[in-house]
Structure 1
Amino acid sequence: MSIGKSPEDDHPTEDTGPAGARADDGPTIGRVLQQARIEAGLTVDEVSAATRVRIPIIHAIEQDDFSRCGGDVYARGHIRTLARAVRVDPAPLLERYATEYGGRPAPTPAAPLFEAERIRPERRRPNWTAAMVAAIVAVIGFVGFTAFNGGDDGAGSPTAGATPAASKSAAKPSTGASRPADPKPDPSDSAIAAAPQDKVTVKVSAPDGRSWISVKDQNGRTLFDGPLEQGDAKSFEDKQRIDLVLGNAGAIDLAVNGKAVEDDFQPGQVERLTYTKGDPAAG
């Protein structure tokens, strides 16, 4: 009996991918996306410009590294976006991702948006000069007002010829003033309800969470590009067409030409939509 390798040691072990995926299962998710991009004649820069996904993230996904996506929800969103950009059906890739990386994740709050589309408002420094000028003006006005009232001794006496009855009637508040004013309708809601027939009007609201949106008119001019906080709403109008990009579509409600749009958008999903003067139509 000799001491050495066992018969099993002479056979190489099968290469396994993440979460037990074997090499004979076919090309990986990243390899499929990379090959489709090359066959479509697109560079990584062109795909990044079309999808707004950063170039380092695209390179990482094509190497099957999803750690830079920020979580499963965003990884699935990036896979879906890149697959559509290179004209590949995203359903098999998403199913494979669910199998190899732990299944479909539970929805998470839309706190940080896609890393490629996060916009941070610039912090402005306080204008101390303007504050000091305003304070000086307020002090001078107060001193002048006090000096003027102190020198006028007869200011508090009743005016000659005024009767007690007239004074009482002037001091008595009117009954109509105590009634609360009718609440004014929300300008954006009124604008949507009275949407003109010769224009396209779109109202975007975020009742379920924070989202990033980009809005352009028929000429490609940007009407808005930035975050929409939870509870906020914005309305846009153009003569022919409104183009939308929704970064976290599951948190968005849309009303187009005065009518609510029914959708099944998911959290973290990126959607590109176009609406005209006629019926709403997905872009």
Structure 2
Amino acid sequence: MSIGNSPEDERPFEDVSEEARPSIGRALRDARVAAGMTVDDVSTATRVRIAIVQAIEADDFAPCGGDVYARGHLRTLARAVRLDPAPLLAQYDDEHGGRPAPTPAAPLFEAERIRPERRGPNWTAAMVAAIVAVVGFVGFTVVKGDSDSGAKNEVAGGPSPTTKKTASPSAGGKKPAAPKPDPTESAIAAAPQDKVTVQVSATDGRSWVAAKDHNGRLLFDGLLKQGQSKTFQDSSKINLVLGDAGAIQLYVNGKKIDDDFQPGAVERLTYTKGDPQVG
């Protein structure tokens, strides 16, 4: 009778959950396909180059340039395809030796503290400008006083003045210029009817925005910070990709779009002329 475990008992346990778990790249690719997005769409929404997106989906993190950048790309891509980045980051740490050491906070804020000093006002130039303004005002007052006194003398010695009539349009052959409309709070209110005009405003945060015209030409590709706006115009169609649609307020052809976009949602929109219609 032998003492101890049999060879069968010494066999290692199989980690079924680890084997069943898909790779990081496979999980990102499946989530992108489920969201109906192409690699180009993800690259446009996140500003991560197409080659890096494709490499990550193939579980090749070498093009990222290091663990810090790889983790940052994973977080950005996961949010773009509506995937929770936390499990992917934990899986990456398990497979690549743990989370990297945090970067010291001091150098990050050094750039904020080092700012060029504001120069004080140039009092010499200000005094010269004030003297010139005073001399000009005095000269204008003297000339105006002489002309007013001459006009009064002429009225006292001549016939009574008559009311000046406005010349009719037919007399000179020209119609009077139409009064200019009062400026509105937004330039989108003056959008022409024969074009499509889209104003994108980051009202509740910041968001990546990409805009193309009807020919597919890229009009804008960048980050709108909170409080910033961009206006795009085309003869027939504007295509938009919003990285965080919940932070965006849209005005299309002079009308506010009240779609209930969710925070963090990636939206692909198309607008045409006339009443706002999402394509």
Instruction: Check if 1:53 corresponds to 2:48.
Output: yes
Q: Alpha-carbon deviation of 1:241?
A: 1.0
Once the two structures are superposed, residues 92-137 of structure 1 have per-residue CA deviations (whole angstroms, 9 ceiling, x without a partner) of xx59x788889xxxxxxxxxxxxxxxxxxxxxx99x9xx99x8876
C-alpha RMSD of the superposition: 5.1
Q: Is the 8 A contact 1:53 1:78 kept in 2?
A: no
- Distance in 2 between the 1:240 and 1:32 partners? 38
- Distance in 1 between the 2:208 and 2:269 partners? 14
- Distance in 2 between the 1:35 and 1:70 partners? 14
Q: Is the 8 A contact 1:28 1:64 kept in 2?
A: no
TM-score (norm 2): 0.51
Matched residue, 1:281 = 278
Which of 11, 25, 30 is the matching residue for 2:25?
A: 30
Matched residue, 1:190 = 189
TM-score (norm 1): 0.50
Instruction: Check if 1:237 corresponds to 2:237.
Output: no
Q: Alpha-carbon deviation of 1:251?
A: 0.6
Once the two structures are superposed, residues 239-258 of structure 1 have per-residue CA deviations (whole angstroms, 9 ceiling, x without a partner) of 11112121221111223233
Which of 68, 75, 78 is the matching residue for 2:72?
A: 68
- Distance in 2 between the 1:249 and 1:61 partners? 25
- Distance in 2 between the 1:47 and 1:99 partners? 23
Matched residue, 1:79 = 81
- Distance in 1 between the 2:135 and 2:251 partners? 58
Q: Is the 8 A contact 2:250 2:257 kept in 1?
A: yes
**Does the residue aligned with 1:12 lie in a helix, a strand or coil?**
coil
| Amino acid in the other structure paired with 1:200 | V
Once the two structures are superposed, residues 253-274 of structure 1 have per-residue CA deviations (whole angstroms, 9 ceiling, x without a partner) of 2232333334343333332322
Q: Is the 8 A contact 2:239 2:270 kept in 1?
A: yes
Distance 1:101 1:265, change over 3 A: farther
| Amino acid in the other structure paired with 2:25 | G
Distance 1:31 1:100, change over 3 A: closer
- Distance in 2 between the 1:189 and 1:14 partners? 63
Distance 1:245 1:23, change over 3 A: same
- Distance in 2 between the 1:281 and 1:148 partners? 59
Distance 1:147 1:252, change over 3 A: closer
| Amino acid in the other structure paired with 1:30 | G
Distance 1:2 1:135, change over 3 A: farther
- Distance in 1 between the 2:136 and 2:190 partners? 49
- Distance in 2 between the 1:148 and 1:24 partners? 86
Once the two structures are superposed, residues 173-196 of structure 1 have per-residue CA deviations (whole angstroms, 9 ceiling, x without a partner) of xxxxxxxxxx9521324225xx51
Matched residue, 2:13 = 13
- Distance in 1 between the 2:243 and 2:14 partners? 41
| Amino acid in the other structure paired with 2:256 | A
Q: Alpha-carbon deviation of 1:56?
A: 3.6
| Amino acid in the other structure paired with 1:190 | A
Q: Which residues of 2 match residues 37-186 of structure 1 at below 5 A?
A: 52-54=47-49, 55-56=51-52, 58-63=54-59, 67-69=71-73, 71=75, 74-80=76-82, 94=83, 138=126, 140-142=128-130, 184-186=183-185
**Does the residue aligned with 2:203 lie in a helix, a strand or coil?**
coil
Once the two structures are superposed, residues 187-211 of structure 1 have per-residue CA deviations (whole angstroms, 9 ceiling, x without a partner) of 324225xx51x22121212221112
- Distance in 1 between the 2:241 and 2:14 partners? 44
Q: Is the 8 A contact 1:48 1:58 kept in 2?
A: no
Q: Alpha-carbon deviation of 1:64?
A: 9.8
Q: Alpha-carbon deviation of 1:8?
A: 6.1
How many residues get paired? 205
Larger Rg: 2
